[in-house]
Amino acid sequence: MSEFGTLESRVHRKALMDKVMSAEDCIKFFKPGMDLGWSGFTPAGYPKAVPIALADHVEKNNLQGKLKFNLFIGASVGAETEDRWATLDMIDRRWPYQTGKNIAKGINTGKIRMGDKHLSLFAQDLGYGFYTPKIDIAIIEVSEILADGSLVPTSSCGVIGEILMIADKIIIEVNTGQPSFRGMHDCLVPLNPPNRQPFLISKAGDRIGTDSFACDTDKIIAVVESKHRDKGRAFADMDETSEAIAGHIIDFFSAEVKAGRLPKNLLPLQSGVGSIANAVVGGLANGPFEDLTVFTEVLQDTMLDFLDSGKLKYASACSLSLSEEPGFPRFLDNWDKYADKIVLRPLSISNAPEPIRRLGCIAMNTPVEFDMYAHANSTLVGGTRMINGLGGSGDFLRNGFLKIMHSPSTRPSKTDPRGITCVVPKAPHIDHTEHDLDVLVTEQGLADLRGMAPKDRAQKIIDKCVHPDYKPIIQEYFDMAKTECLAKGIGHEPQLFDRCFKMQQNLAQNGTMKIKNWDIKIDLCE
């Protein structure tokens, strides 16, 4: 028995107790090439017992590359599941977002076929049957199975509703290793067009659904007890860079309030995943604003600081993307303090353009890099190497009230003590265009780009965001590009396509982005 109760106490539809079996007993249901749908969104709320048992089975029986599946999950899940599956060559296709060194390696070496997609679109398109007409087996982690057969999720909603819509068979993992999350969710599966209804959300705490997802219990082939906790996501501590970025953003918000463009309690905040986003929220927890709300995808560790500060009134998200230590234990140990201030929604609602636009969300996300015209790359290092995926940043950056991207001006490099610049003449891959972004921020400063023409934007970004070591290099390129393009009458957004990626080429060949000249007739390092 767990400290949080028994399996019997969590399964209220008692007929399903006849389908209880071990994770190992479920292995017989899986065949090569199956399309699998998992619950989970970031490393929270994902199935663990059955995926781990399958990995153990493959490893024990030398079935690497022979028992492969197609995975459809709301976002990334724990490394002990999908990343281990990648090491065992168990994944053929993976949609739409992932995290892990080994799964990224599999994608970039061509062993795993990954597709990237705006998360709100992935959720609805999965339900439409665009990726597969049916999910062969769904594996869903839940807190409880109610008497009507409906499912209460755990620490995330993800795309559970859409998976259940098209699942042929369902395995339920009932997690008794943590308390029930009943009452925290707002579950709703949007109808397909032309019958889809408006999402009537006018403030972060509005609820439009129910506590649980409807489920056809005839499809359930197994009920498995799990006591595995979410592995969560580790975060770097705040440093001078992230503190400076947070400071610039808070100063900007203060100026917007003073100018009358924002109310004193701002507007609902969205913050993406990662250590910088986590640090920015931490800065807001210590900032001057009160009575704030959050409408976002994920709640990271500093959201708990935000709640503890009394400045955050309510938070809506898709997932509790907390760290394994201390995030999740802190949340569970203080359940009564946090639970009534949080609602977890399906991805199709949390990231839907309609409420984001209506609420006027302030979107804050971290790219890999951005260029001098405010195009941002969130996914592909060097334009070719996949990291994790686009995630939901585009959902908010296209539809928010203010669209902000924050990044260090440089990132560490093994071959350059200063590191590589995160502001470049031209991004080698573009996920967010100049049309979607209002504000760019590094520790060097903040560039408010609203109402600015491209060449004015470029100069503002160079002045405010570029590291001093790189500023002369990028300024020289911009001046040269203006001179040549304007002389030819093609100078609205000047670029020299024989040179715009020379810094990236130099990094690949010589280990540094500090080129010595822009002359195309001279070797890169000369």
Taking the C-alpha atoms of residue 514 and residue 217, their distance in angstroms, rounded to an integer, is 61
> Of residues 144, 162, 173, 297, which has the active-site annotation?
297
φ, ψ dihedrals at 383, nearest 5°: 80, 0
Which two tokens mark 350? 């949390």
Could you count the other beta carbons within 10 Å of the beta carbon of residue 495? 19
Among 296, 312, 405, 400, residue whose Cα is nearest residue 345: 296
| Of 325, 331, 287, residue with least CA distance to 309 | 287
Task: Give CA–CA dist 112/31, Å, rounded.
Answer: 18
Which spans in 192-263 are helix H? 240-258
Range list of H helices, 34-118: 49-60, 84-87, 101-108
DSSP state of 184: S
222 three-class SS? strand
Q: Which amino acid type is present at position 3?
A: E
Contact between residue 497 and residue 458 where contact means Cβ atoms under 8 Å apart: no
- Determine contact, residues 368/402, Cβ cutoff 8 Å: no
What is each CA distance from 223 to 171, 419, 490, in whole angstroms?
6, 50, 65
* 526 part of the active site: no
Over the Cα atoms of the chain, what is R_g? 24
Cα separation, 395 vs 278, whole angstroms:
19
Peptide bond into 43 cis (omega under 30): no
Which whole-number Å values give the CA distances from 334 to 326, 337, 422, in the listed order?
12, 5, 39
Query: In this structure, which amino acid lies at residue 493?
Result: E
- Please report, to the nearest 10 degrees, the dihedral formed by the alpha carbons of residues 286, 291, 295, 300 taken in order: 30
From the list 293, 155, 125, the residue with the least C-alpha distance to 232 is: 155
Q: Which residues are catalytic?
A: 297
